[in-house]
Structure 1
Amino acid sequence: MQKQVFEKCHIINELLISEKDNEARQELIKLLDYHNTNELNYNPLVNHLIRETGLFPYLDPETSNWEERFIYDAFKVDVGEQVPLTLHREQSLLLKKLLEGRNIAVSAPTSFGKSFVIDAYIKLKKPNNVLIIVPTLALTDETRRRLYKKFADEYKIITTSDVTLSEKNIFIFPQERALNYINIVNEFDIMIIDEFYKAGYKFDKERSPSLVRAMIKLGEKAKQKYYLAPNISSIDDNPLTEDMEFHRMDFNTVFLEKHELYNEIENNDTAQKSKVLLDILEKNNTKSLIYAGTYSNIESLTNLFQSTYSELDNNLLTMFSNWLVKNYDFNWSLTKLIKRGVGVHNGRLHRSLSQIQVRLFEEDKGINNLISTSSIIEGVNTSAENVIIWRNRKGAAKLDDFTYKNIIGRGGRMFKHFIGKIYILEKPPEQAQTQLDIPFPNEIIGDLDAEQYGGLLTKEQLALLKSHQEEMTSIMGFQVYEKLKSESAFQSSNSDLIKKIAIDLKTNPDEWNGLYHLNEFKPKNWDRLLYKIINLQPGNWEAKNKTFVEFIKTIARNWSKSIPELLNELEDYDVGIDEFFKLERNVTYKFSSLLKDVNALQKEILVGKGYDISKFIGYCSQAFLPKVVFQLEEYGLPRMISKKFQKSKIIDFYDSELTIHKAIEEFNEIGQEQIVRKTEGLDEFDKYILDYFFDGIKITNAQQRI
């Protein structure tokens, strides 16, 4: 063995001499995996090569000489953990630049460890207000959990709207929620945007305008900016990043071992591909992420696993399956998949369900295989030893090289899996350099001030802005329109939609008569106005208009009825559990945002009517649940357990003064043990969920004062 190690060290050294640092690092990681597999100690030569390649966290102080031990200690930094952690060379370089106050946009692989740099910056710089914009609510909670454990004694960690600020705050939001704080926070010490490539229209057509809007308006309040993304080769000239240094860091801490098995599958034959997939899973008895690409492919894989795999003798998974049957739908395919050690991750599921499955995937005796859409790269920082590309698709479109690299980057994990095994069952996209283009979107022009932002616009866009302002001024008057813009009153980043609503209110005021009836909890009286509102955005609801209207009226009883009861009422409209998730998300996000824009405009245009539907907007934005119950789902606590708390008088969710932070204080004051003892009807899996939930909110007495 020692001879093999020496020969490998010789090859790595030759690569370093030839200035092929990346290749040398890849070979070294494979050598470290060999040591790990064979339980070998690192000799001084291996430690020396670790130092030369910049992988300082991998150094073994016990077998290093004094120079390597010095490096290992010199690159240690406080990231809020119980003990300082050693950064690798490129992490340390980024941290140094941030501490110098520079604005940085960085492209680095998934395994780079970008979060450690953020944590170290906060610990060392001690900023007052930190804004972190993340792409999804799932990643919001994951980031909150990480930072809460490290910084809740110094900072108020804020992930929801309408929160009273503390002296020092860390804000963690998707961009749409972040915009609510434009007029609340005067200054951010640093604005961090994770996955900032989504500002590019070609990467996220639906949400890029709102991210660009956030980058402009919140960026003005930020003393420093730090943007992060993977796999970007260059950034076009644009006003949003012109004051930033761009650093491309091809610095992997794991090695990706690719198995191009699509050559063995003739014409993408499904039967052949299924056999190859099952063979991979049988031979690799470790955790596997299976990228399905589309919801229909998830269904195909679900059928494959149900027909092939037997139920496991696993008490934890059986409990979870029974919990899903009781609380969701006994016919749901996931209830059967879970018993076979397979989970499903997609963007439609309730936040708590996605979090529970990721937790089970991380458990040794939990879920073995996780089928996913692209949500696994957008919504959670998890990884596995094996990543299997079942389909080269992202929805209807083929995967581009950028997204493909993002997915396979989930393979491997520092200190756990030196080598990530990538199994490719369909021909991957051609390799390409990815330039990030951030064109200024026409959709948001109407929300900008010509004097303040004119320098960002083309001549054509300035003309468009002038035309839009003239039309809006003619409808509601110059001062009123300017007031709404200055207050950032509009949720939509689509100026044409705002104009369309304003014109409809102005020209058809009688059609909006009785709008206030929506505030009255009488769903049978809502039909006419619900149809009126959803027709402002036809085709936006992923369901027939009648189905969507009936769904809204049905989930008005979301707190008083169980999901199985609601599904029973929705049977006539062909709304099953998957459709339920999708439509509920559309109500809480798309529909409530539209309502807010309608309300902001009608209060200024239909002045004599005196309408205000804020109460109904509140109902919709929280899925007709008590506000804190809905927010707690983002923290990993399902509504079913909150109902049991309410019934057992553990906490009063009807209390109008209750906030998410007050609720967390109450949970901590009572304590997990007492809550479990006093709550009626908790089953064993409820208690498992509570372990996960309390792990994310535990605070000390000092933290309770923040």
Structure 2
Amino acid sequence: MNISQDEWQQLRSLSDTELKRRVFRILQTAAASIQEQGTEDPRLLEVVPRLAELFASKPELKDLREALSSLARATGLWNYIDKDVAATADLLVAETVTVPELDGVTLHREQVAALNDLLAGRNLILSAPTSFGKSLLIDALLASGKYSRVAIVLPTIALLDEFRRRLKRRFVERFELIMHPGDKPTEGSATIFLGTQERLINRTDLGKLDLTVVDEFYKLDPNRRDERSITLNAAVSKLLNRSNQFFFLGPNIDDVRFSGEGRWKFEFLRTRFSTVAVDTYDLGGVAEKEARLFDEIAEDRHWPALVFVSAPDKANRLASRAAEQMAISDGSADFAQWLSDNVGSGWSLVQTVRFGFGVHHGRLPRAIASQMVRMFNQKDLPVLFCTSTLIEGVNTAAKTVLIFDKSINRSDYDFFTYSNIKGRAGRLGEHHVGQVYLFNEPPQHELTAVAPTLFGDQDEAPDDYVVQLDEQETTKGTYTRVASLKIALGLDAAGLRLAAAVGLEAALALKQAVPKALGRRAALVWSGVPKYGEIFAVVEVICSVRRATEFGAFTPSQLTFLINALRLAPSMRHFLITYDGKYEGKPEAHDNVFKFLRACEYGLPQYFAVVEMFVKQHAQGADYSLFIQSISRWFKPEELKNLDEEGVPIQISERFHKGEDKDGLANKLLRLAREGSQHLTAFERKWILAALE
């Protein structure tokens, strides 16, 4: 079956009679194709979403809705069966695969096949397009009643929060959700552990697990140059050793490689089954690409639209230029005012948001990034300039994706990444036909294979991974390597694991730097609350191994200044407004302060802890534990940081915190928002309700 993109678009301009005739012919041809060739042809599968999109805007086609439902049943796209008009046989299929516990969602053929494998107890690795509905399978497993203790590994805090909100809404009565490091499960309760690899690898209360789920599993492959890959592999290895079953899911993977002995058996299901269709437009030959980009995003027929660019600075810069040329929304002024009042009026994003443009990249605070996506999905921010961070599972309702750049941080992206970005166009139930605009030639098609470290030969695994293994996992070769590392670094097993958090090579460099600094009488031996010079002494050692820019500062002196300013600030709002008032750098780099705040959460605490270990090898008086614990939560109560991860910005929650625990503070904020408290703006009340209800 072969209908061109142009032919589909021409259907919209046909008169009633001619339109009916053409659509009826398409339905006939599709039915004949199924009889002759089966249902695997992707061009056949896309007929259903394309017709569904057409039917939604052409009421004159209502007499053909039953025929479309029959085609949906035949192709396995059972979620497109219209239960109001479907024939009895089609309706029976739809009802059979509808899950009441999941808000009445109807599954499609490939979802049911995967679910059957999982409910039969088999380990499954699923590779499917973004529009497949992979997260629904996780929810369906939880709804089955078969699993009572589950660990779910997710790549980002943003995705953790998205899962938290969805699972809480559906399963709050059935499961206890454990997401923050300080959360503790109740003995005997059904529990879901939600965490990034860094959090789950350090949990000691996991117990025996019924199921381990790993989302975006391609990140297990060290060849994807993700610096967190080693920790991910170590965390997943730990989980699989205590789990009865596992389920890995991700997009566009062609093969999974493993060593011959294969400690874990699994089924690999690769499918290209997509629930939406995509139109692709080549703008690679356009001379003035930026001008053309702005012309396209000015058209409301594209909204909501994602614009993919290579790096955070460029996303900020392009969004700012777009806002200088046009205003595309009147629903984002309150958000812009909030950013001005709580982050700083000098931040270029204030004006960007005011005129309807959002930005999403790794430097943004999580609660603000979450609000950006929420307002994008609601069309209050019709255009979102984003980097590759948005392809890591966060759900968006994008109708159009404009791929403006062909690189990520100066390296050309591969076909796998390109496919993931492209897969963001279209959303089941909202935009059955997505649009992709290419401003550069796409990378050549190539197969993508994933080779997780934990599936490989342990004797060939990197040292940073090997030191994380439980003793029963080690081989004679890895045992010998670990023993040698203990001697070289002067650390026990727990110390090696901590050193691996910064990388054993960096840890060795720190071990060598510490005695040199002590020889210069650097103030490394301190405990409790450090003085300014004592912080600086440790920062100097850290920055002899890692550049200050990796922590959001230009020099060790500036990094120390920022740490101290954050420590002394009476509130996060005060810290950010003060920073804004003194900032003199490039507008697009203003939000580097958030890179510093991320480093305070993870990065700096680990480096301070490793330096402390090596200082103790020379002087027993060092104890950085209070400082490390404090900096990891921005020197604020832990409840505020935890709520920030759940979508309530700390600038709001810190105004109301009077010593309550997280749940108590969340309930207070909810009550104030529901009552219309004048201590919250109308915008803040909506924000709180969206994040916590």
Q: Offset at 1:59? A: 0.5
CA distance in 1, matches of 2:283, 2:94: 40
Matched residue type, 1:332: W
CA distance in 2, matches of 1:448, 1:513: 32
TM-score, length basis structure 2: 0.88
Query: Does structure 1 residue 652 correspond to structure 2 residue 665?
Result: no
Question: 2:49 — aligned with what?
Answer: 29
Choose which of 623, 626, 632 in structure 2 pairs with 1:615: 626
Question: 1:703 — aligned with what?
Answer: none
Unaligned runs of 5+ in 1: 696-706
User: Is the Cα–Cα contact under 8 Å of residues 235 and 436 in structure 1 kept in the other structure?
Assistant: yes
Question: 1:698 — aligned with what?
Answer: none
Q: Offset at 1:412? A: 0.7
Listed as ranges, the matches of 1:353-392 within 5 Å are: 353-364=368-379, 366-378=380-392, 380-392=394-406
Question: 2:312 — aligned with what?
Answer: 295
Choose which of 80, 85, 88 in structure 2 pairs with 1:58: 80
Secondary structure at the counterpart of residue 192 of structure 2? strand
Q: Offset at 1:154? A: 1.9
TM-score, length basis structure 1: 0.87
Number of residue equivalences = 658
Choose which of 578, 583, 586 in structure 1 pairs with 2:596: 583
- The RMSD of aligned alpha carbons is 2.8
CA distance in 2, matches of 1:518, 1:569: 33
Matched residue type, 2:644: E
Listed as ranges, the matches of 1:282-681 within 5 Å are: 282=299, 284=301, 286-310=303-327, 312=329, 314=330, 316-364=331-379, 366-378=380-392, 380-439=394-453, 441-448=461-468, 452-454=472-474, 462=477, 466-473=480-487, 476=490, 481-482=492-493, 484=495, 489=498, 492=501, 494-502=503-511, 515=524, 517=526, 519-520=528-529, 522-523=531-532, 525-538=534-547, 540-541=550-551, 543-560=554-571, 562-567=574-579, 571=583, 577-599=590-612, 605=617, 609-646=620-657, 651-652=658-659, 658=661, 660-664=662-666, 670=671, 672-674=673-675, 676-677=676-677, 680=679
User: Is the Cα–Cα contact under 8 Å of residues 555 and 566 in structure 1 kept in the other structure?
Assistant: no
CA distance in 2, matches of 1:302, 1:546: 32
Question: 2:692 — aligned with what?
Answer: 694
Choose which of 24, 40, 53 in structure 2 pairs with 1:6: 24
CA distance in 2, matches of 1:282, 1:619: 48
User: Is the Cα–Cα contact under 8 Å of residues 306 and 398 in structure 2 kept in the other structure?
Assistant: yes
Question: 2:9 — aligned with what?
Answer: none
CA distance in 2, matches of 1:468, 1:326: 52
Choose which of 677, 682, 685 in structure 2 pairs with 1:684: 682
Secondary structure at the counterpart of residue 155 of structure 2? coil
Q: Offset at 1:94? A: 1.1
* 1:165 to 1:510, Cα distance in 2 relative to 1, 3 A: farther
Query: Does structure 1 residue 74 correspond to structure 2 residue 81?
Result: no
Q: Offset at 1:574? A: 8.3
Identity %: 25
Q: Offset at 1:520? A: 1.2
* 1:517 to 1:450, Cα distance in 2 relative to 1, 3 A: closer
CA distance in 2, matches of 1:494, 1:46: 56
Secondary structure at the counterpart of residue 170 of structure 1? strand
* 1:377 to 1:474, Cα distance in 2 relative to 1, 3 A: closer
Q: Offset at 1:538? A: 4.4
Q: Deviations over 1:583-622 (max 9, x none)?
A: 221222111122233445656x35x624332210112111
Q: Offset at 1:116? A: 1.0
Q: Offset at 1:408? A: 1.0
| Farther-moved stretch of structure 1 (293-302 vs 210-219) | 293-302
Matched residue type, 1:652: G
Question: 1:195 — aligned with what?
Answer: 216
Q: Offset at 1:442? A: 1.1
User: Is the Cα–Cα contact under 8 Å of residues 490 and 600 in structure 1 kept in the other structure?
Assistant: no
Unaligned runs of 5+ in 2: 1-18
User: Is the Cα–Cα contact under 8 Å of residues 209 and 443 in structure 1 kept in the other structure?
Assistant: no
* 1:451 to 1:143, Cα distance in 2 relative to 1, 3 A: closer
* 1:490 to 1:290, Cα distance in 2 relative to 1, 3 A: same
Q: Offset at 1:131? A: 0.7
CA distance in 2, matches of 1:298, 1:450: 43
Q: Offset at 1:522? A: 3.9
Secondary structure at the counterpart of residue 125 of structure 1? coil
User: Is the Cα–Cα contact under 8 Å of residues 336 and 351 in structure 2 kept in the other structure?
Assistant: yes
CA distance in 1, matches of 2:417, 2:567: 38
Q: Offset at 1:667? A: 5.0
* 1:449 to 1:407, Cα distance in 2 relative to 1, 3 A: closer
Secondary structure at the counterpart of residue 281 of structure 2? strand
User: Is the Cα–Cα contact under 8 Å of residues 345 and 371 in structure 1 kept in the other structure?
Assistant: yes
CA distance in 2, matches of 1:601, 1:164: 31
* 1:546 to 1:514, Cα distance in 2 relative to 1, 3 A: closer
CA distance in 2, matches of 1:610, 1:467: 31
User: Is the Cα–Cα contact under 8 Å of residues 447 and 495 in structure 1 kept in the other structure?
Assistant: no
Matched residue type, 1:614: S
CA distance in 2, matches of 1:171, 1:512: 45
Question: 2:127 — aligned with what?
Answer: 107
Listed as ranges, the matches of 1:153-164 within 5 Å are: 153-164=173-184
Q: Deviations over 1:344-368 (max 9, x none)?
A: 011111111001111111224x111
Q: Offset at 1:204? A: 3.6
Q: Offset at 1:419? A: 0.1
CA distance in 1, matches of 2:170, 2:620: 51
User: Is the Cα–Cα contact under 8 Å of residues 515 and 613 in structure 1 kept in the other structure?
Assistant: no
| Farther-moved stretch of structure 1 (209-218 vs 403-412) | 209-218
Question: 1:701 — aligned with what?
Answer: none
User: Is the Cα–Cα contact under 8 Å of residues 337 and 350 in structure 2 kept in the other structure?
Assistant: yes
* 1:399 to 1:346, Cα distance in 2 relative to 1, 3 A: same
Q: Deviations over 1:245-281 (max 9, x none)?
A: 1100111000011111213x1xxx4x34422541453
| Farther-moved stretch of structure 1 (226-235 vs 513-522) | 513-522
Question: 2:230 — aligned with what?
Answer: 209
* 1:577 to 1:296, Cα distance in 2 relative to 1, 3 A: closer
Q: Deviations over 1:363-391 (max 9, x none)?
A: 24x11100001111126211311111111
User: Is the Cα–Cα contact under 8 Å of residues 15 and 23 in structure 1 kept in the other structure?
Assistant: no
Q: Offset at 1:49? A: 1.2
CA distance in 2, matches of 1:105, 1:392: 29
Question: 1:138 — aligned with what?
Answer: 158
| Farther-moved stretch of structure 1 (9-18 vs 330-339) | 9-18
CA distance in 2, matches of 1:6, 1:690: 49
CA distance in 1, matches of 2:170, 2:594: 33
CA distance in 2, matches of 1:259, 1:483: 54
CA distance in 2, matches of 1:334, 1:54: 45
CA distance in 2, matches of 1:525, 1:666: 39
Matched residue type, 1:19: G
CA distance in 2, matches of 1:43, 1:285: 26
